[in-house]
Structure formats: C-alpha cells, structure tokens
Structure 1
Amino acid sequence: MILVTLGTQDKAFPRLLEAIEKQLENGTITDEVIVQAGCTAFTSKKMKLFDLIPMEQFDQLLSQCDLLITHGGVGTIMAGLRLGKTIIAAPRLAQYHEHHNDHQTEIVSSFEKQGYLLALHDFDRLDEVLKQAETFVCKPLVSNTSNMIALLEDWIEKHA
C-alpha cells in the first residue's frame, strides 16, 4: 500500500495527486493508494482519499504502508524515517501557491543528500522515482538528541 500525505497546510497541493493519478492510469502504480489530502479537493476513482484523519489512524496507515509519498514537511518525513519507510518527498512550491515560501525544497534536498529519501522535484519524473524506490534503501535514522541537533545545525549552516 502507498500512503500519500499532503499535510495540514491550509493551501491545496493538487499537483502531486495529479501526478500520482497519471501513474495509476498508465499502470505504473498498481498498489492501493490511500491519501491524507488535507484541504486539497480532489476526486479519484483509483485512490482512497481522506481530508484529515485521527492521529491513531494515520499512525496505523503509516506503519502498514510499503511506500510513503509526502510533501516536504519535516514531521511526516521524520515519522516515516523512524519506521524505516521508503519515502518519496515532493516539496510544496510558492510559485503554485502551495506554500508561503520554498523552504520545503531545501528540507527535501537536505534529507535526500544525506540518503534518507528520494526527492521528487519534477513531477513528470514520478515514474522514474517510483522505479528507484523499488530498490532504494534509506539510511537508517539514528534518533537521539545529539544526532538530531547535529543534523539541524548542519542544515542551518549550509542554508543560513
């Protein structure tokens, strides 16, 4: 099962769902797709969509998924990494009115460079990134305070 999360942002993110729908229609994606769509209004006969779901249900879906496709929010990325999930992260962009700025691009690129996830910057390449995800092994997340602080300090140093 593929879990798609668009977060709780008050701005829509239909580009990602349109790209996934295209891959469902052409047969690249054959797995069940469950979407936490937030405020993104989208209709699909091929995906099961929820606006927002209780955290317990979200955690259950996250633990059961084989692939997590998410926006570039740190919370969802970290939750997936803690469970060792293969993650494709697609940053929301200000130019499409998906966010106020492009900080998610920097976040996703930073996690990708460190081997934690696959980044999807060009939605026309989703089929290629899905193919990569089949064999991608993410770097294990060592979750402790000092490592997290070092990760954040490194990111701040490179982007400040």
Structure 2
Amino acid sequence: MIFVVLGTHELPFTRLLDEIEQLVKEEEITEEVLVQSGHTKYESDRLKLVPFMSFEEMDQTFDEARIVIAHGGTGSIITGVKKGKPVIAVPRLAEHGEHNDDHQLEIVEQFDSAGHIIGTEGPSELKEALKQAETFEAVLFKSGKEKILRMLEDFIDKV
C-alpha cells in the first residue's frame, strides 16, 4: 500500500492527487493508494481518501505502508523516515495556492540532500521517484533535539 499524506494545512494540494490518479490510471501504480487528504477536497474512484485520522490510525497506516508520499511538512516526513519507510516528499508551493510561502521546498531539499528521503520539486517527478523508492535506502535520521536542549541549558546557565 502507498500512503499519501497531505497533512492538515487548510489550502488544497490537488496537483499531487491529480498526478497520483494519473499514475494509477496508467497502471504505473497498481497497488492500493490510501490518502490522508486533510482539507483537500477530491473525488476519486481509484484512490481511497480519508480526510483526517486519529494518531493511532496514522501510526498504524505508516507502519502498514510500503511507500510514503508526503507533502513537504516536517511531521509527515520525519514520521515516515523514523519508521524506515521510503519517503517521497512533494512540496506544496505558494505559486499554485498550496501554501503561504515555499518553506516546504527548503525542507524537502534539506532532507533530500541529507539522504533521508527522495525529494522532488513537484508532482511531475513522482513517476521517477517511485522507481527510485524500490531500491532506496535512507540515511538514518538522528534528531538534533538533544543538542538543541544542551545549547539552551548552557545559554540559561550563563545568564
């Protein structure tokens, strides 16, 4: 199963779903596609769409997915990477009315350059990214949380 995660942002991301729908129609994708669609209104006979899921449902679906296709949100990307899934990330872009700015492009570029994900600049690169996902081995993600906390503690101690 391919799990598509659009997150909870209020602007639609139909460009990604249009491309996935086309790949299913062309039989480039032949397995079940489950979409957490959020606020993106979309109708499809080929994709299973669920607007929102509980934490437990999301967690289980990430576990069951063979591949994760995520918008460029850090939560969606990191969850897939931590679960050892090949993650393809497609950023929402301001020019298409999908977000307020292009910070997701920067997030995707950073995770891609670190070797954690297969990053794309847009849905048109999805077909090739799916081929890469078949053999992709991600660089293990290590959170910088502990380092940041130490830096904050050191700063507070000095003040």
Which residue does the alignment assign to 1:24? Answer: 24
Post-superposition CA distance 1:26-55 (Å, at most 9, x none)? 010011100000011111111110111111
Q: What TM-score do the two structures reach when normalised by structure 2?
A: 0.89
Q: Structure 2 stretches of 5 or more lacking a match?
A: 150-159
Which residue does the alignment assign to 2:157? Answer: none
Secondary structure of the equivalent of 2:131? helix
Distance 1:31 1:41 in 2: 22
Distance 1:37 1:12 in 2: 9
Q: After TM superposition, list the pairs within 5 Å mapping 1:1-80 onto structure 2.
A: 1-80=1-80
Post-superposition CA distance 1:68-125 (Å, at most 9, x none)? 0000000111111111110000000000110000000000000000000011213222
Is the Cα–Cα contact under 8 Å of residues 90 and 120 in structure 1 kept in the other structure? yes
Q: What TM-score do the two structures reach when normalised by structure 1?
A: 0.88
Secondary structure of the equivalent of 2:129? helix
Distance 1:147 1:110 in 2: 18
Return the index of the structure with the highest Cα Rg: 2
Is the Cα–Cα contact under 8 Å of residues 73 and 104 in structure 2 kept in the other structure? yes
Amino acid paired to 1:64: E
Is the Cα–Cα contact under 8 Å of residues 88 and 117 in structure 1 kept in the other structure? yes
Identity of aligned pairs, percent? Answer: 41
Secondary structure of the equivalent of 1:98? coil
Q: After TM superposition, list the pairs within 5 Å mapping 1:130-145 onto structure 2.
A: 130-143=130-143, 145=145
Distance 1:148 1:85 in 2: 26
Cα 1:122–1:73 shift into 2, 3 Å: closer
Which residue does the alignment assign to 1:85? Answer: 85
Q: Structure 1 stretches of 5 or more lacking a match?
A: 150-160
Moved more, 91-100 or 113-122: 113-122
Distance 2:136 2:26 in 1: 22
Distance 1:130 1:40 in 2: 22
Secondary structure of the equivalent of 1:111? helix
Moved over 3 A (4+): 146-149
